[in-house]
Structure 1
Amino acid sequence: MVTAANPLAPLAGRTALVTGSGRNIGRAIALSLAAQGAQVVVNGHSDRAAVDGVVDEIRAQGGKALGVMADVSVDAEVARLVHTGAEHFGSMDIVVSNVGIRRKQPYLQITPEQWDEVMRTNLSAAFYLTRHAIPLMQPRRWGRIVLISGFDGFWGQVTHRAHNITAKAGLHGLSMALAREFGVDGITANTVAPGAIDTVRDWSQYTHQQREQLEKEIPLGRYGTTDELAAACDLLCGDRGGFISGQVIHVNGGHYMY
């Protein structure tokens, strides 16, 4: 029987929920945690086929996975998501909040409705996720919380994204508060801030020259991969990262430094 002490499956017996895990960074995190032995709840909002595809990939490698569709900007749906996963696998040990939308608008053109949309999706979703997951972690006296932020929240060089920048910075504030309040329960909370990661995305707002220039600005001379981002989450989600809490891990190839 595989146990959590097995170095080949250090997360065996743990249940991980990764929001927004049908593609890109979330998919890589879900697959990597499954490779570490975790039972994974894969989540998406509208693309059921993508979620099912990740579930199938995990199961094909001998892992355990469950796909649950939910809009994480709605508290009631997050409650259903968390409890469905916990009831299916018997626990909820690791949550990774990965959902985010990117809006680009001059500050004075942002409407209250547009501001609220970004806050609900990029910040409130993490609040909903953690407030429902933490009570399930406390009895086991072990838990891992990872909030995926972005360089927008730490680097003052991005224009026309005031709502996104505010939400991303807020995620680190939330992780610090959680680390302080729930450390006594054996729960860690951290923020991972990706830099320029090579994902499938809409690049229409960037010219080819802008993309090339961005790559040149990175000391390593290339974009990061989703697997490299997932590796940082692996550390934070396991026992080896058990003394890391309330921190920001920047995965950006040296593009910006603190």
Structure 2
Amino acid sequence: MTQDLKGRTAIVTGSGQNIGRAIALTLARAGANIVVNGLRDKNKIEAVAAEIRALGVDSYAVLADASDPEAIADVVNEAVKHFGAIDIAVSNVGIRPHQAFTDISVDDWQKVINVNLNSAFYLAKAVVPHMRKKKFGRIIHLTGAEGVIPMANRAHVNVAKAGMTILAKSLALELGPEGITANCISPGWIDTDRDMQNYPDLQNIYRHTREKTPLRRLGTVQDIANTCLYLVSGMAEYVTGNTIYVDGGESML
């Protein structure tokens, strides 16, 4: 068993910063070529792609809306033309607006479901035909504890995260005979840049994490990236349809 990804190609959505960037760089260090994706900031994703190329593997950056099925299909098709295959797909886009249920409009609901849940579906739809040709594929969804233990004022986010988990299980069930696995990573409270208006109680949450969770610290983006590397490598050939909680033990509380 090995964590060597030499010759593999991965697409990581939302990889211009934070967890996505760490995943892209970690897979690159293991030898994978990487398609770096972001929505708006071309400079950020180009910088990540440059970091990856400096590691001795191939990479390029592409702006595309992962919640647009045609856009993400184009990204995948171009990646296959460039690299010859797509072996690994990491769905890492999401928004987490803080809204009471009665304040959520139909448009708000549809936007969260489209960005968080539908984007994972669109990415899988785009990559699975190529993975089937090779009888190999690794699909990862970045979910969250909200999909199991809902948070107040996030009904739309909770539902989307739960849906991502069931989607991964469905993919695992149907595609396992063809050598394709699908799993989820559920991050706990990770020390990243955040939109503070969507986390009004963040400092109390961080204090609770440091004082009460078994490991007594916040998670790091590298904690998540290391788990992703495990799931897409030869170390996890017999792991599919699962969610790994990378949360310092918070899910036990």
Could you tell me how far 1:219 is from its partner in structure 2?
1.4
Letter of the aligned partner of 1:163 in structure 2? H
**Counterpart in the other structure of 1:99:** 93
Aligned with 1:183 (options 176, 182, 200): 176
* RMSD, matched Cα: 1.5
- Aligned pair count reads 251
List structure 1 runs of 4+ shifted beyond 6 angstroms. none
- Give the residue type in structure 2 aligned to 1:228: D
> In the alignment, residue 126 of structure 2 is paired with which amino acid?
H
Deviations, residues 89-145 of structure 1 (Å, cap 9, x unaligned): 110110000000011111111111000000000000000000110000001001000
With over 3 angstroms needed to count, the CA separation of the structure-2 counterparts of 1:195 and 1:210, relative to structure 1, is closer
| Structure 2 unmatched runs, 5+ | none
Deviation track 1:160-211 (CA, whole Å, cap 9, x = no partner) reads 0000000001111000000000011100000110001111113352353443
Alpha-carbon distance in structure 2 between the residues aligned to 1:92 and 1:39: 10
- 1:123/1:207 Cα in 2 relative to 1: closer, same or farther (>3 Å)? closer
Q: Residue 66 of structure 1 contacts residue 85 of structure 1 at CA under 8 Å; is this kept in 2?
A: no
Measured in 1, the distance between the counterparts of 2:116 and 2:109 equals 11
Distance verdict in 2 for CA 1:69–1:220, change over 3 Å:
same
TM-score w.r.t. structure 2 length? Answer: 0.96
Partner of 1:164, secondary structure, is helix
| 5+ long unaligned stretches in structure 1 | none
Please point out which of 236, 254, 258 is paired with 2:249. Answer: 254
Question: Secondary structure at 2:97's aligned position in 1?
Answer: coil
Aligned residue in 2 for 1:153:
147
> What amino acid maps onto 1:197 in structure 2?
I
**Alpha-carbon separation, structure 2, partners of 1:80 and 1:207:** 37
SS state at 1:256 partner: helix
Which residue among 1, 6, 11 is the counterpart of 1:17? 11
- Tell me whether 1:172 sits opposite 2:160 in the alignment: no
Q: What are the residue-to-residue correspondences of 1:1-258 with 2, within 5 Å?
A: 10-156=4-150, 158-204=151-197, 205-206=200-201, 208-257=203-252
Cα distance in structure 1, aligned partners of 2:133 and 2:53: 29
> Sequence identity of aligned pairs in percent?
42
Distance 1:240 1:211 in 2: 32
